[in-house]
Amino acid sequence: MLLSVHWIGLAAALSCLLTGEVWCDCTEDNVQIEGGHYNLTKGLKTGSLLTYHCPEGYYPYPAQKRVCQLNDMWSQDSTSSKPQKCRVVECPDPKVLMHGIVSPPQERYFVDNETTYQCYSGYTMRGSSRRVCFPNGKWSGSTPICSRDSGNDCADPGIPAGAFRRGNSFRIDDKVKYSCKNGLFLVGSSERTCLENGQWTGTEPACYYKYTYDTPLEVSEAFGGALKASLTTLEPIDDTQEGRKIKISKTDTLNVYIAVDISESIEEKYFIDARDAVVQLITKISSFSVTPNYEILFFSSDVYEVVNIVDFLDGKTQLSTVKADLEKFKIDNRDTAGTDLNLVFMTILERMAFIKQRTGEEGFKEHRHAIILFTDGAYNMGGTPEPTVQKIKNMVYMDQTSRSEKPLREEYLDIYIFAIGALIFDDDLIPLVAGTGGDHYFRMSDIRSLQKTFDEIIDEEEVKGLCGLHKEYDTTKRRENYPWVVFIVIQNEGRVMKCLGSLVTPMFVLTAAHCFTFGDLPQHVTVDIDDMNGRRTKKVKNFFLHPKFNVKAKVNEGVEEFYDYDVALIQLVDYVKISTLARPICIPCTQETSNALKLVGESTCKEQEQLLLKNHLESLTFLTRTNYLVGEKDVHAKLGDNRDECIKHALKAPGITTNDPNIPVTDNFLCTGGLTPFRDHIACTGDSGGAVFKNYEQRTVQIAVVSWGSENLCKGGGVVESTKNSRDFHLNIFRVIPFLKSILGNDQQDDYAPLEFLKN
Ligand SMILES: *[C@@H]1O[C@H](CO)[C@@H](O)[C@H](O)[C@H]1NC(C)=O
Ligand SMILES: *[C@@H]1O[C@H](CO)[C@@H](O)[C@H](O)[C@H]1NC(C)=O
């Protein structure tokens, strides 16, 4: 016995030596967990944090975390001295269903347990009739509700698993109140009121155990929905007045305040993940046309301001430098011992007061504010932030207490809290959230999933009018990487022509004019695009070739087939439904493209061209059909001094007898292909009409249309490399803007919303 005690002591001393500490406070005696493991933030030193980890579907019990205290002892869960073990996750009691049967009836429900729900006769079911208990402590699907038509104004709001509800009358102004059973706490609205429009205020509450977490998908849907709602309300909209469509720009300004807890209650490596997640969030927000002002804070006992919103207002800081500043920020040598959550809100309140002072009372009315806080909620200094949050609310709500104005002002303030960590102080955090329209409180065990969460939040189908927005990472649906690509088939008297095209508005497709032959009619043309309506093949109303396109124009000059102005627009019968799978590409010289390229103020077509075709070799991409929908072909447009060498290879193309390459290859073409300085890919038959494009952050801009090549190296598509002499010629869209504008920008018709082209 003595020996083993001695050995335990020695092992502890050794690990102290190994971590370079001369002083050793706690030991690893009696901290083990059955079925799991633990991690220490500072070895066995005073203040070190011990976090228990269990496999998926289990949670640590009774303690989730322990701290090495000044008395050399690990803190103990006060309620229990039971041995530490991993317990199976439970889901809240589903037997709260009214007017129906839950089977099987059990005392408790564990991970993977299944339940089914049936309504009594005369009642109909909404929600899920079958639910499974998930490893995060939540039931799959949605709350089942059995109700019958009883002339109420609002629908029965149901009772979430684990909850009690007071209130069974659902007429206008009636209230229902929720609470949770023992051992659970409530997230969401504890009280809801039936409104005149038949909707309930707030969001459906849920009952959480201390180990219940939101999955990244749940968070991205909920937070993304709310964020998108604020961002899209700020985007310019099209409106119709006296039969004409006009664009209305919103004057509201969005201020985003991001605060990240870096105190030692947050594990240190979380800091990097949190920082990367913030960068990801800002990148995501930047793909909207709205440009918010940012305040970015890290905090512990002190507040470290990485980005000051006042610098943003003054134009002293830009988005690009924000990201760089974030990446430079290190936590070394900062005092991370305490946590002062109140100081964070006080800092934000000060910044708001400053903005208000700048803009004046009236100007401040047009400022929206979103506060996004990442923390576990453990604070040991500064007191509760609740009074400060109340001051923030008062400032934004502008003391509008009348019933009609208050909800309107409430839309101007959102406080989102991402509660992260093994031990979250929910009771302190939940009262701090604010805002309308969806959840504002998210509970996550791990900050690493946040980046993915933020990546997913805005690529959903509700985001309209963002040309070129696409997913950049591999998804199971390849269309999401190229949501603008369409497949065109023209069938006329036994002749079949296949081309690619690009969706440029919800009703128009851009392709090559040479895909069409004299005598083709709209009914010979089909456009294939999967827009989630299920109907993949779209009917064509009309098509328009560039008026100057004339294949035979230069027969007398030694060019049998001349492809200048090789562009055409196809008008569809119906709008394509915009979603992650189908969305227009950005085309040059439009306002939307300037937004995508973040050109501020009154930008010009020339500025766009200088930004997109700025180098002597510009790296571009086009697509080809493959078994996996499409493959990418990487090419380099040879511009400036490189152009002459490139276009001279056109002379070897069949049907060309002239010695002047400038006759077949006018200034309207971009030249790609060959082996130097890079081996390019080469176009195949069937790639014609496709977009030659460039990605700018999350947005794709079309630069040219695939037109013709000097050699036919491949038929029917595929990713094929160029040979030494093979070259392709793509029609530069910057050269055909008047044609595109005459159709897409036509505001003298009411069939479709016109694109806004730049004046210069
Ligand atoms: C805890 O430590 C183990 C090694 O002991 C490591 O594999 C694991 O990733 C750590 N867990 C967390 C959540 O940091
Ligand atoms: C519910 O889950 C528990 C724990 O995994 C298991 O022992 C029990 O058999 C399950 N009950 C049903 C009906 O599947």
Instruction: Report CA(184)–ligand 1 centroid distance (Å).
Output: 29
Whether residue 15 is contained in a domain is answered as yes
pLDDT at residue number 449: 73
User: Atom 8 in ligand 2: which residue has the minimum CA distance?
Assistant: 113
Tell me the ligand closest to 446's alpha carbon: 1
Question: Do residues 202 and 180 both lie within one domain?
Answer: yes
Which of 186, 208, 230 is a domain's end point?
208
Question: Do residues 143 and 153 both lie within one domain?
Answer: yes
173: left (phi over 0), alpha (psi -120 to 50) or beta: left
Question: Do residues 190 and 229 both lie within one domain?
Answer: no
Long-range contacts of 307-315 (CB under 8 A, 24+ apart): 308/351, 309/255, 309/257, 309/351, 309/355, 310/351, 310/354, 310/355, 313/355, 313/358
Cβ count within 10 A of residue 121: 7
For the packed helices 319-328 and 269-285, what is the interaxial angle rounded to 10 degrees? 170
Q: Which amino acid is at 615?
A: N
Instruction: Report CA(179)–ligand 2 centroid distance (Å).
Output: 27
Whether residue 472 is contained in a domain is answered as no
Contacts of 18 (CB under 8 A, 6+ apart): none
Question: Do residues 176 and 221 both lie within one domain?
Answer: no
Whether residue 749 is contained in a domain is answered as no
**What are 710's two structure tokens?**
């000097």
Instruction: Report CA(708)–ligand 2 centroid distance (Å).
Output: 66
Question: Do residues 167 and 72 both lie within one domain?
Answer: no
Whether residue 69 is contained in a domain is answered as yes
User: Atom 13 in ligand 2: which residue has the minimum CA distance?
Assistant: 113
Cβ count within 10 A of residue 667: 9
Tell me the ligand closest to 40's alpha carbon: 1
pLDDT at residue number 534: 56
Give the separation between CA 693 and CA 632, rounded to whole angstroms: 11
pTM beyond 0.75: the answer is no
pLDDT at residue number 327: 81
How far from 97 is each of 90, 116, 127, 157, 209, CA to CA, in Å? 18, 11, 12, 11, 19
Whether residue 143 is contained in a domain is answered as yes
DSSP string of 125-151? EES-SEEEB-TTS-BSS---EEE---S
Partner residues linked to 74 by β-bridges: 68
Question: Do residues 190 and 330 both lie within one domain?
Answer: no
Instruction: Report CA(597)–ligand 2 centroid distance (Å).
Output: 55
Whether residue 470 is contained in a domain is answered as no
How far from 597 is each of 122, 469, 586, 745, CA to CA, in Å? 58, 12, 10, 20
Helix (H, G, I), strand (E, B) or coil at 609: helix
pLDDT at residue number 289: 62
User: Atom 9 in ligand 2: which residue has the minimum CA distance?
Assistant: 113
Instruction: Report CA(208)–ligand 2 centroid distance (Å).
Output: 20
pLDDT at residue number 67: 83
Question: Do residues 255 and 201 both lie within one domain?
Answer: no
Which of 181, 208, 235 is a domain's end point?
208
DSSP string of 95-112? TT-SSEEEES--S-EETT
Helix (H, G, I), strand (E, B) or coil at 720: strand
Q: Among 106, 109, 110, name the best residue to mutate to test ligand 2's pocket (greatest count of ligand atoms within 8 A of Cβ).
A: 110
Residues with CB under 6 A from ligand 2: 88, 104, 110, 113
User: Atom 4 in ligand 1: which residue has the minimum CA distance?
Assistant: 39
| Nearest ligand 2 atom, CA 114 | 14
pLDDT at residue number 382: 85
User: What share of residues in the chain are helix, strand, coil (percent, to 5)?
Assistant: 25, 30, 45
Active-site residue set? 514, 566, 688
C-beta of residue 683 within 8 angstroms of C-beta of residue 641: no
Question: Do residues 195 and 290 both lie within one domain?
Answer: no
Domain with residue 220: its CATH number is 3.40.50.410
Domain with residue 132: its CATH number is 2.10.70.10
pLDDT at residue number 10: 37
Question: Do residues 189 and 223 both lie within one domain?
Answer: no
pLDDT at residue number 9: 35
Whether residue 471 is contained in a domain is answered as no
Give the separation between CA 439 and CA 416, rounded to whole angstroms: 8
| Nearest ligand 1 atom, CA 38 | 1
266: left (phi over 0), alpha (psi -120 to 50) or beta: beta
Q: Among 48, 53, 213, 269, name the best residue to mutate to test ligand 1's pocket (greatest count of ligand atoms within 8 A of Cβ).
A: 53
Contacts of 190 (CB under 8 A, 6+ apart): 177, 178, 179, 205
**What are 658's two structure tokens?**
């002239």
Whether residue 329 is contained in a domain is answered as yes
User: Atom 2 in ligand 2: which residue has the minimum CA distance?
Assistant: 110
C-beta of residue 386 within 8 angstroms of C-beta of residue 431: yes
pLDDT at residue number 587: 96
Instruction: Report CA(114)–ligand 2 centroid distance (Å).
Output: 9
- Tell whether omega for the bond before 104 is within 30 degrees of 0, i.e. cis: yes
Instruction: Report CA(39)–ligand 1 centroid distance (Å).
Output: 6
Instruction: Report CA(83)–ligand 2 centroid distance (Å).
Output: 24
Q: Among 58, 109, 111, 113, name the best residue to mutate to test ligand 2's pocket (greatest count of ligand atoms within 8 A of Cβ).
A: 113
Tell me the ligand closest to 60's alpha carbon: 1
**What are 505's two structure tokens?**
């508005």
Question: Do residues 83 and 94 both lie within one domain?
Answer: no
Tell me the ligand closest to 53's alpha carbon: 1
User: Atom 1 in ligand 1: which residue has the minimum CA distance?
Assistant: 39
pLDDT at residue number 188: 86
| Nearest ligand 1 atom, CA 53 | 13
**What are 735's two structure tokens?**
């050269």
Instruction: Report CA(288)–ligand 1 centroid distance (Å).
Output: 38
pLDDT at residue number 15: 47
User: Atom 7 in ligand 2: which residue has the minimum CA distance?
Assistant: 110
Tell me the ligand closest to 267's alpha carbon: 1
User: Atom 4 in ligand 2: which residue has the minimum CA distance?
Assistant: 110
Number of domains in the chain: 4
Long-range contacts of 514-518 (CB under 8 A, 24+ apart): 514/549, 514/551, 514/563, 514/566, 514/688, 514/707, 514/708, 515/488, 515/490, 515/568, 515/688, 515/689, 516/490, 516/543, 516/545, 516/568, 517/490, 517/492
- Tell whether omega for the bond before 547 is within 30 degrees of 0, i.e. cis: no
User: Atom 7 in ligand 1: which residue has the minimum CA distance?
Assistant: 39
Give the separation between CA 397 and CA 408, rounded to whole angstroms: 9
| Nearest ligand 2 atom, CA 106 | 13
Residue pLDDT, tens place only, 85-117: 999 999 999 999 999 999 999 999 999 999 999
Contacts of 341 (CB under 8 A, 6+ apart): 299, 375, 377, 379, 382, 385, 428
Instruction: Report CA(104)–ligand 2 centroid distance (Å).
Output: 11
| Nearest ligand 1 atom, CA 446 | 13
User: Atom 8 in ligand 1: which residue has the minimum CA distance?
Assistant: 39
Which regions of 608-757 does DSSP assign to beta strands (E)?
A: 617-626, 629-638, 669-673, 681-682, 691-696, 699-709, 720-721, 727-732
- Tell whether omega for the bond before 664 is within 30 degrees of 0, i.e. cis: no
Ranges in the chain, pLDDT < 70: 1-24, 77-80, 225-226, 228-251, 264-268, 287-290, 331-336, 400-407, 437, 452, 455-465, 472-476, 531-535, 600-601
C-beta of residue 266 within 8 angstroms of C-beta of residue 277: no
DSSP 8-state secondary structure symbol assigned to residue 498: E
Domain with residue 625: its CATH number is 2.40.10.120
Residues with CB under 6 A from ligand 1: 39, 53
Give the separation between CA 161 and CA 94, rounded to whole angstroms: 4
Phi, psi of 140 (to 5 degrees): -65, 165
DSSP 8-state secondary structure symbol assigned to residue 461: T
pLDDT at residue number 330: 75
**What are 200's two structure tokens?**
């309930």
Which of 192, 208, 224 is a domain's end point?
208
| Domain hosting residue 301, numbered range | 216-458
**What are 109's two structure tokens?**
């429900």
Q: Among 112, 114, 132, name the best residue to mutate to test ligand 2's pocket (greatest count of ligand atoms within 8 A of Cβ).
A: 112
Question: Do residues 334 and 355 both lie within one domain?
Answer: yes
pLDDT at residue number 235: 57
Which regions of 421-576 does DSSP assign to beta strands (E)?
A: 441-444, 485-492, 495-505, 508-511, 525-528, 537-545, 568-572
Question: Do residues 314 and 280 both lie within one domain?
Answer: yes
| Nearest ligand 1 atom, CA 267 | 14
Tell me the ligand closest to 270's alpha carbon: 1
Contacts of 539 (CB under 8 A, 6+ apart): 526, 572, 573, 574
